[in-house]
Structure 1
Amino acid sequence: MNTKVLTTIATGLVLSTATISAQATDCATTASIAYEHAKVKNYDAAEEPLWKVRKECPTYSVATYQFGKKLLQAKYKKAAAADKVKLANEKIALWKERFQYFPGKTKIGDMHSDIGQLMYDNKIGTKETQFAEFHKAWTEDKGNVKNPKNVYTYFSLLVDLHGEGKKELQAVFDLYDEVIEKIEDEESNKAKKISELTEKEESGTALSSKEKKNLKRSTIILTNYSKVKAGVNQKLGELADCKNLIPLYNGQFEGKKTDVNWLKGAASRMSSKDCTEDPLFFKLVEALHKAEPSAKSAYYLGLLAIKDKKTSTALEYFNQSAELETKGSDKAKVYFKIGEVMKKKGSKGKARTYYRKALKYKPSMGVCYLRIGSMVASSANNCGTDVFSKRAVYWLAANYAQRAAKVDPSLKSTASKYAANYNAKAPTKTDIFNNPGVTSVSVGCWIGETVRVPKL
């Protein structure tokens, strides 16, 4: 090869390297300008350089797509109804580009559930194609389907498709179980954080600014999931009433009576809908216990024992169920049931123990706090030593009611009424003034707790 050819090749390589270097520098500079504007939400200034980076340097940084999503969301919120479809399609296209260039930094559950919601909100495609996006998100990456609204829409679409004869009723029940489980897991996570911070606050320790933000955010998310759960149950509606469940399961029983998973689901649904009076429920429980003696079958045998007024036998089955149960929310349900039995028997201390056990496994079970508060209030005359301490018991009862509302927003109205009723019976400002120096009251008998005197 002669010197002239080598020189030409070398020159070409130098020019190519210089071009690549210049392009890289240009990408970095343009991206820096776009990102700085986007960080302060100056999207009008960020848009041109951001889209330039997106077009010319698509693999530069995932931040391009993160800021792009925020930019389009801001435009979408302000847009007229006629313009939202176009922007929704732009958001969908951006998601797909992000996945194309940064698959490892794009969550399937987040992406497809968001695309499905955009399609649903803007009537893009059919119900089947909208449902397909949610279904892909749910079946491939359920853990990252975190938006409560998306969870509801997914279930709602399935119910609608069933109504059109395109999906089986069993598929609706199966998804309902999965959706409720996810919602309750999310509720428990947030309720646990709320409960921990509330207890810290009630003890007189001030929360840090970070803790206050965490408490506020957890409360908002918990409230949203509570609304979604109510919406899901309302959407399911009459589809899960006894009049539909009993003929459905009667028809399936012979072919499914050795299918443990089917028996568990059928018995659970009939139990939750109070269809336990029908002979089918006994057949399901009997078949389940025969096929696989378990926490579930023991629990249902306990329910049947309660029905027959065999309390001791029921408690044996319930305790056996609680010991065998591995899923936290189900274990909580069993402990709550034991608490209810103990409360009915008048064993308040034991009832509280089981309600607290239920809360340990499902912190969002606010009804347990209501039950404890009710028992505390009913013991005011017995657990105080004088008029002031007896009435102070109602502060403690009110605290429990207020905590119920914090961990379970669906109980807010009921809990607020209870708290108001208890506080109306508690010591007044005058009572506190007449007991100077009293900052807390120790409550005796089965309660054995101390309540702080509030600043009225």
Structure 2
Amino acid sequence: MNTKVLFVIATGLVLSTTSINAQATDCATTASIAYEHAKVKNYDAAEEPLWKVRKECPTYSVATYQFGKKLLEAKYKKASGAPKTTLANELIALWKERFQYFPGKTKIGDMHSDIGQLMYDNKIGTKETQFAEFDKGYSEDKKNFKRPKKLYTYFSLFVDLHGEGKKELQGVFDLYDDVTEKIENEENRLAKIIAELTEKEEAGTALSSKEKRALKNSGINLTAFSKVKAGINQKLGELADCKNLIPLYTGQFEAKKADINWLKGAAGRMSAKECTEDPLFFKLVEALHKSDPSAKTAYYLGLLALKDKKTTTALKYFNQSAELETKSSDKAKVYFKIGEIMKKQGSKGKARSYYRKALKQKPSMGICYLRIASMIASSANSCGTDVFSKRAVYWLAENYARRAGKIDPSLKSTANKYAANYRAKAPTKTDIFNNPGITSVSVGCWIGETVKVPKL
């Protein structure tokens, strides 16, 4: 190869390298301009350079797609009609590009549930294609399929497809159980945060700004999950009533009576919907206990014993169930059931103990706090030593009632009514003034707690 040819090749390589370096520099410069504008939400100024980076340097940074999503969402919120649908399609396209270039930095559950929701909200595609997006996100990455609204839409679409004869009723029940469990896990996580921070606040410790934000956000998200769970239950509606469950499971029993998973599901749903009066429930429990004695079968046998007014036998089975149960939410249900029996028998201390055990397993079980509040209020006369201390017991009852509303938004209205009722029976501002120096009251008997005198 002569010198002239070598010179031409070398010159080409230099020019090519220079061109690549220049493009990289241009990408960095343009991206820097776009990102700086986007950071302060100046999307009008950010749009042109951001889309330039997206088109010419798609692999430059995942930030291009993160800021692009925020930009399009800002425009989407303000749009209506056809322009809104156009922006929805642009958001979907952006998600797909992000996954194409940054699959390792894209959460499958988040992406497909977002695409599914955009399709559903804007009537893009069929119910089947919308559901397919949600189903892919949920089945492949349940952990990052988080938003309450998306969980509702996913389940709602399944029920609609069942109504059109495209999904089996059993599939509706299976998805309901799975989605409800996910929601309850989120509720428990948030309720635990609220309970811990509320107790800290009630103890007189000032919350940091970070803790105040956590308390506020947890309350907002807990309310959202509570509403969605109520919506899912309403959507399920009559499909899960005894009139549908009993013929469904009666028809399946002979073919499935040796299928332990089916027996568990059928017995569990009939128990949840209080279809325990039907003879089928006994047949299910009997077959299940014979095939696989467990916490669930012990619980169901307890229900049957309770139905026959054999309380001692029922308690034996319920305690056995609680010991064997490994799932927190189900263990909480058993403890609550025992607490209810103890409360009915007048054993308030024991009842509270079981309600607390239930709360430990399921922190969002606000009904337990309401039950404790009720028992405390009913003991005011017997657990106080004088008029002031007897009435002070109602402050403690009020505190428990308010906790119920904080950790379970669905009970908030009821909890507030109870709390207001207890507050009305507690010492007034005048009573406090006439008892100077009292900053707290020790409540005796089975209650055994101290309540702070509030600043009225």
TM-score by length of 2: 0.99
AA in 1 matched with 2:395: W
Q: CA deviation at 1:14?
A: 1.2
1:199-251 Cα shifts (integer Å, max 9, x gaps): 00100111111101011110010000000000000000000000000000000
Q: Which residue of 1 is the match for residue 174 of structure 2? A: 174
Q: Which residue of 2 is the match for residue 225 of structure 1? A: 225
1:46-65 alignment to 2 at 5 Å?
46-65=46-65
Structure 1: which 4+ aligned runs deviate by more than 2 Å? Answer: none
The answer on 1:296 being equivalent to 2:296 is yes
Q: CA deviation at 1:296?
A: 0.7
The answer on 1:130 being equivalent to 2:133 is no
Q: Which residue of 1 is the match for residue 374 of structure 2? A: 374
Structure 2 gaps, min length 5: none
Q: CA deviation at 1:7?
A: 1.6
Q: Which residue of 2 is the match for residue 28 of structure 1? A: 28
Q: Which residue of 2 is the match for residue 279 of structure 1? A: 279
Q: Which residue of 2 is the match for residue 414 of structure 1? A: 414
Q: CA deviation at 1:16?
A: 1.1
Structure 1 gaps, min length 5: none
Q: Which residue of 1 is the match for residue 154 of structure 2? A: 154
Identity of aligned residues (%): 85
Q: Which residue of 1 is the match for residue 80 of structure 2? A: 80
Hey, what's the Cα distance between the residues in 2 that align with 1:291 and 1:26? 70
- The CA RMSD over aligned residues, in Å, is 0.7
AA in 2 matched with 1:353: S
AA in 1 matched with 2:257: K
Hey, what's the Cα distance between the residues in 1 that align with 2:358 and 2:427? 31
Hey, what's the Cα distance between the residues in 2 that align with 1:448 and 1:8? 94
Q: Which moved more, 1:313-322 or 1:146-155?
A: 313-322
Q: Which residue of 2 is the match for residue 405 of structure 1? A: 405
Hey, what's the Cα distance between the residues in 2 that align with 1:394 and 1:81? 55
Q: Which residue of 1 is the match for residue 19 of structure 2? A: 19
Hey, what's the Cα distance between the residues in 1 that align with 2:304 and 2:378? 30
1:184-263 alignment to 2 at 5 Å?
184-263=184-263
Hey, what's the Cα distance between the residues in 2 that align with 1:235 and 1:258? 31
1:20-71 Cα shifts (integer Å, max 9, x gaps): 1111111111111111111111111111111111111111111111111111
Partner of 1:341: helix, strand, or coil? helix
Hey, what's the Cα distance between the residues in 2 that align with 1:265 and 1:395? 43
Hey, what's the Cα distance between the residues in 2 that align with 1:404 and 1:437? 30
Partner of 1:33: helix, strand, or coil? helix
Hey, what's the Cα distance between the residues in 2 that align with 1:220 and 1:268? 31
Hey, what's the Cα distance between the residues in 2 that align with 1:151 and 1:302? 34
Q: CA deviation at 1:269?
A: 0.7
Partner of 2:451: helix, strand, or coil? strand
Partner of 2:154: helix, strand, or coil? helix
Hey, what's the Cα distance between the residues in 1 that align with 2:353 and 2:326? 19
Hey, what's the Cα distance between the residues in 1 that align with 2:96 and 2:346? 61
AA in 2 matched with 1:332: A
Q: Which residue of 2 is the match for residue 343 of structure 1? A: 343
Hey, what's the Cα distance between the residues in 1 that align with 2:226 and 2:107? 25
TM-score by length of 1: 0.99
Q: CA deviation at 1:82?
A: 2.6
Q: Would you say how many aligned residue pairs link Structure 1 and Structure 2?
A: 456
Q: Which residue of 2 is the match for residue 104 of structure 1? A: 104
1:322-341 alignment to 2 at 5 Å?
322-341=322-341
1:156-179 Cα shifts (integer Å, max 9, x gaps): 001111111111101100000001
